[in-house]
Every structure is written in C-alpha cells, then in structure tokens.
Structure 1
C-alpha cells in the first residue's frame, strides 16, 4: 500500500513538472519571437524621458571580495546614484567602499543590535534615506526609479538603454531583468547555475509575462517609486527569507503589474561549493515557506485573476511537492533494489536493457532540450561558449542537479518547523578583479 501511495505521489509530481516545462517551452518557442516588443525595454518610445533619476540600492555584508568591483561598474552608468548599505560587516568591506571617491556613491551603515535582521530591513533602510534625499532636491516620485543590485553583480552594457526605454512610458511601474552568471566558470556546478537562470528560469518568466505572474529576483529589480509608495508604502519589503517573491505577492495583491526584461540582464557570481549552494537554496526554499502567510489573502483576493492565483499557488506548493517527490523517489528506488530479483524475474536480458535505456533517455530528455536552448542563448548574446566536454555532460548535469537540492529542502523544512528564521548568508569567494 505504501508503495502505491508513493508511486501516485511521484506520478503527480512528474505530471506537474512536465506540464509546466512544456507550457514554458511553448511560450518560449512560439510567443516570444512574435511578441518581442511586449517585453520590458524592447519598446521604442517616441522620446526618452531625460528627467528619470535612478537610485540603485546595494546591500552589503562581508563582501570585501566583490563590492568594489560592483560599485565601480554601477557608477559607470552616469544616471545612477548608488546607495550601498553596510550591514555591520566584520571584514574590510567598508574600507573597500571608502576607496571609491564619487559624489554619486552614498554609504549607509547599520550597526548591531539593529543590523543582521534580514535583507528586507536593509532595503527599507536605504529607501528611507532615498526618500529623505529626493524631497529637498525636488525630484518627483514618479520620476524616481529604485533598483536593487546584489553586491556581487554587474549590469549588462545595454541595461540603462533598456531601462530608459521602459520607464519613459509613464504607465510602467516595475520590471525584473534577466539574470546570468559571470562566464568565469571554474566547475560544472557554476555552469548548471547559469543555465538554470539564463535559460530555464528565463523560459518560465516569459510564460509569466503573459499570465501576469512575473516574479521579482533579489538581483536586477527596478520600480517607479510613486506607485509603490501609493499602494504599499515606504517600506515595501517584508521579513521573509525570500524577500523578492514576498514583494512580488504584495505588488500583485495591490494590482501592480511586474514586467520582464528579456534582452538585457544582470550578472552575478555562481557558487563553486556544493555546501554553499545547498545553504543558499535552503534559504530560498524556507523563504517560499515564509510566504505561506499570504495564502488567505491570495485566496480571498478579488484583484487577482484565476491565472495569477494559480501561478502563486504553483510557486508556494513547490517545496511540498519537491519534498514528497524526492521521498517517493528514494522509497521507490529502495523497494526496487530490495526486490530486484522478484520484479525482473524471468524478464529477457534484451527487454531489461531496453527498459533501462528507455529510462535513461527519458531522464535526459529535458536536459538535452534545455541544453540546446542554452547554447542558442549564449550564441545570441555573444557570450563565451562551452567547451565540447562541458557540452557533452551538460544534459546529465541539468537532469540530475536537483538531487543534491534534496538536502536543501530538508534543511529548509527543519528550520521552518522550528522557527529558525535567521538569515543564511550566501558566501562569495575571494577578491576578484
């Protein structure tokens, strides 16, 4: 009976994954080329609004290895004022920041016991500062654009051009940039993170653009201050460990539409260590669980469409579905190995080989499909291509990378059940040039 139950769970999870992947793929193949100009920043406005004023917030905690490069790159965009918030770093992050002499760079510092309370608090702290700055300078709220960029990030060269094209239309409010890893890959784990963000998540975001369910990322989000102040308030970010999707839900509940930029992107550092990767993803999963508190409001909402509600439900149910599916796979695999001689007794060797080969091909199918799209994306944007050996093992890595994420799911549920909501910091590497 237990085997039947877990088989059913596995089949349901597989069906949901295949259905969602297929729909995302269809939108990517059919809809995007036809409706290119529907996506944020791809429009050609009659006139670029020269009165737009950008404030880019950069949260910083022990980022000495990357923060200086990030700030220098951001300040190359002359329209940007950069507000970096040091959250009581214990390394020499502040010293690295102070080495940059630029009037458009603003350093804010938080100290214990008010520091280390989460990224949302850091962003709200920066927004308070920006609010106090723009009032005496007479900058209109509807001309003020707020951006969030991680301490390890860098915007693509055409980012400001796309942002200006988007925000020059007064009807626009919020947009999320495409995300890519820096093409300095030291191991296969970094490549897998790049394909996950640059191609797989990109497909999902294209579909969400049509269903009006685009999700914000913690990196590369930009919004017009006026509508956010009017509908959410001066402190839009909450305390969920997944602050970006929590803000997405709050915006959707207030009828604020998030757009998606497909043809510019923000770079970030890919993690090289499986341990750090698991810790990072456990924070994301736990942040998803934190957002369950909005479920009653989502169910009762008269603002959200059925499609939007389904999109949010799918996102919120993912940790539970993944947990049950992984448990089902482990249990069914154990049962198969224990009862191997009974399950396959009398089966011809040729038939057994066909079954095994069929299962392998089936498991690699989406890895091959996503790998092909990833190669196309790299070529389209003139990004460095992979070596042949990397390309050959790519389908295997894509198909099986989520096995190691089972541990992040366990960690997330454990912390969530015991109300351990402290921020799990993503550790970056040594200083880079």
Structure 2
C-alpha cells in the first residue's frame, strides 16, 4: 500500500512541477517589442447567431461605428426569436450589413458548421469586396461582442506578414451582468470577476505560446486570412472541424497545414458577456473540455508535422489537459484524505507540507496581484478576487467529469450559451 501512495504522490509532484514551470514562464511572458507598419486590408465580420435578439442589435451598432470600412455578415442559424428580423432591418438601413439564413435540417449543427457554410456562401455568392483574397481577413465575432477601437489597426500590422494566416484578439469579460439580490448577486459578481481574471491569465499564456507559434484561436475575435479559408474549402477540408472546440481546432489545422504558417496574438481585444449562472457555466466548460477530448487524436499529427520542439511540447500539454485535470481532480480528493490520516498518526512532515502549500498559493496570488494592478482594483476587490479564486477553480474542475461522461456516451451535440440583454 505504501508503494501505491508513493506512486500517487510522485505523480502529483510531476503535475505540480509542470504547472509551476508553465505558470512561471507565462508570468514572465511579454509582448514583442517591434511594431511593423500597417498593411491595407479588407475586413469582413462573420457572426453566427442563434436566438440572439437580446444582443445582436447593440453588437451591430458597435461594429458599424468601430469598423466603418468593414462588412458585417450575420448567419442566422434558424433562430426562434427576432434575430433575423433585427438584422434584416439593419441591412435595409446600411448596405454594409448582410443576412445569411440557415434552415433545417442543415441548421443548428454547431458553430463550426455554421462558419464553414457561411464562408462558402460568401465566396460563392460574391458577397466579398472585389480585391484579392490575400488582402481580405475574416473576423469571427460573437453576437454579444464589443470591438476595441485599436484592434483592426493592430490586425493590419500583424497580417502585413504574408505568412500570418490567423490571429486571436485578447478577450475581456464585461462586469456588471444581470442584477440579482443577496448571495446570488454576490456569487454572480464573483463569477464575472473570476472569468475576466481567467482571461487575463490566458492573455499571458498566449504571449508565451506566440514565441513557439502555437497561439490558440478562440470563438470571439478570431481573425483568419480568406485566401487560406478558400484554399481549405477548395481542397474539400473544413476550416472549422466538426468538434465542440472548433475554434482551437481551426487554429491547430492552420498550424498543421504548413510549417511556414504563423498564428499571432493581438493585445487589443474584444469584450463579451460572462456567465453568472452555475449550471450554464458548468455546461459551457464541460463543452470546452469535451471539445478538447475530441481534438486529442490530432496529437499524432502534431508529432509527425515539421515544427519546433517547443511547439510540439506546448500542443501536447494543451491536448492532454482533460486527462491531466482528471488526475488533478483525483488528487484533490486524495491529498486531504491522506493529510487527515497522517495527522491522526502523527506522521505529518510540517516543513514539506507548508512548502507545498506556499508553492500552490504563490502562483494564483501572483496572478491576482498583476490583474489588480492592471485594472486598478481597490484592496477590497482584490481581496475578493483572491479569496474567490479557489472556489472558482474548484467549480471549473467539477465540469471535468461531466465532460468525460458526455464524451464517452457519444453526446456530441452543440449546446449554445444563452445571452442576456444589456443596458
């Protein structure tokens, strides 16, 4: 039995070492210093929309004001509400807005399917600007997104490099959310703050991954060169694979398509709504983990495609995350039980225990400190973020077994995240 304990605790030490090393590298990551000149580009925003009447109007207004030279195309995925009517009314007032409608049985097959269909429609129906595809960039945008005014300028500089095929904007979570009283309201504010803090950590990870050309693409603020998308469709390949993590999978396909293709991270960003409902949050994170599991078979291609060793290791670490999280969830049960057993028998190694506890707390506290400094949080709100982080991390871990259950049951259906109206 002691040998089993030693194996489990050795595995825990390996996982802790990986986590600390990766986190420390991310903490130290900084944006690149050189700023290339802008290149003239034509942007087309593509918004997949299913029952987005609560937010689509404000999003169109934001994009038309912040990106006056761009086109905005909304893919209505057989909505039951007034989404299509709102978009059609805006299109009648402004010819920069276009509405594409999907109908059953093809509709509601997932966000990736909607995007693949939408790009094919744009190319076939001549809805794009009459300029070379190399000079056009498609921007995937969520129906609740808001665009930073400096983002397109940064994208023009990034895509000045002809080898850049895709880019991902920084994502922020808008604070406020639906008003609720009592503990529900407090919990909702905690969730919004923690989600924004999480995306702050993701920003540093993206800066680290940019050094090895493995920037991950997300479903909001995802830039892709249209010449690449057209080439994929012509070859009979879907730019967005049929998985629940279609955004990351699309970036992985770019990375695997050619050794010279590059993905970059854009510091200017987009904002989006956060989730305050526990059930919806768990369902969203379970979908993300489920999609990661679906991407895992691409690990073989990662190690067979020419790329830097650092890129292979980083992609392997990301693709293995669901399995590592499952082990971590087991360790979260094992270590407290083992600690109680050792305490009762007087076998506690207090110096080692305190050292491990300090190591586990140091990285989260460092993230809170940096995040609080950037956002100028009051000491009270910074303490709220620090104290809420363990609860938030535990909630995220609870979505892991749900994801594995759905994956092994073959329940690969797409469940959309609901939005709420904003003032």
TM-score normalised by length of structure 1: 0.87
Summarize deviations over 1:357-383 as a string: whole Å, max 9, x none.
7665444312221012212332xxxxx
Q: 1:238 deviation in Å?
A: 1.0
Q: Are the counterparts in 1 of residues 175 and 189 from structure 2 also a CA contact under 8 Å?
A: no
CA separation of 1:299/1:59 partners in 2, compared to 1, >3 Å: closer, same or farther?
same
Summarize deviations over 1:78-135 as a string: whole Å, max 9, x none.
1211111111122222233234232111111112221111111100111012112448
1: CA distance between counterparts of 2:53 and 2:203? 30
2: CA distance between counterparts of 1:395 and 1:13? 23
1: CA distance between counterparts of 2:251 and 2:207? 16
What's the counterpart of residue 335 of structure 2?
332
Q: 1:136 deviation in Å?
A: 8.5
User: Match of 1:90, SS?
Assistant: coil
How many residues matched? 404
Q: Are the counterparts in 2 of residues 364 and 399 from structure 1 also a CA contact under 8 Å?
A: no
What's the counterpart of residue 282 of structure 2?
278
2: CA distance between counterparts of 1:192 and 1:232? 38
Mark the runs of 5 or more structure 2 residues left unpaired by the alignment.
178-187
CA separation of 1:142/1:277 partners in 2, compared to 1, >3 Å: closer, same or farther?
same
Matched, 1:88 2:92: no
Matches within 5 A, 1:97-112: 97-100=87-90, 101-112=93-104
Matched, 1:394 2:394: no
Matched, 1:259 2:264: yes
What's the counterpart of residue 308 of structure 1?
311
What's the counterpart of residue 425 of structure 1?
416
Matched, 1:148 2:137: no
Matches within 5 A, 1:5-404: 5-28=7-30, 32=31, 35-37=32-34, 42-45=35-38, 48-49=39-40, 52-76=41-65, 77-100=67-90, 101-134=93-126, 138-184=130-176, 187-197=189-199, 199-230=200-231, 233=234, 235-255=238-258, 256-262=261-267, 264-301=268-305, 303-337=306-340, 340-343=343-346, 361-378=358-375, 385-404=376-395
CA separation of 1:216/1:369 partners in 2, compared to 1, >3 Å: closer, same or farther?
same
Q: 1:27 deviation in Å?
A: 2.3
What's the counterpart of residue 381 of structure 1?
none
Q: 1:341 deviation in Å?
A: 1.8
2: CA distance between counterparts of 1:136 and 1:66? 25
TM-score normalised by length of structure 2: 0.89
User: Match of 1:16, SS?
Assistant: helix
Summarize deviations over 1:267-315 as a string: whole Å, max 9, x none.
11111112211111101101000002212222222x2222221111011
2: CA distance between counterparts of 1:96 and 1:388? 43
User: Match of 1:36, SS?
Assistant: coil
1: CA distance between counterparts of 2:116 and 2:46? 10
Mark the runs of 5 or more structure 1 residues left unpaired by the alignment.
379-384
Q: Are the counterparts in 2 of residues 415 and 421 from structure 1 also a CA contact under 8 Å?
A: yes
Please identify, of 155-164 and 278-287, the stretch whose mean Cα deviation from structure 2 is larger: 155-164
Calculate the aligned-residue CA RMSD, in Å: 2.3
CA separation of 1:408/1:335 partners in 2, compared to 1, >3 Å: closer, same or farther?
same
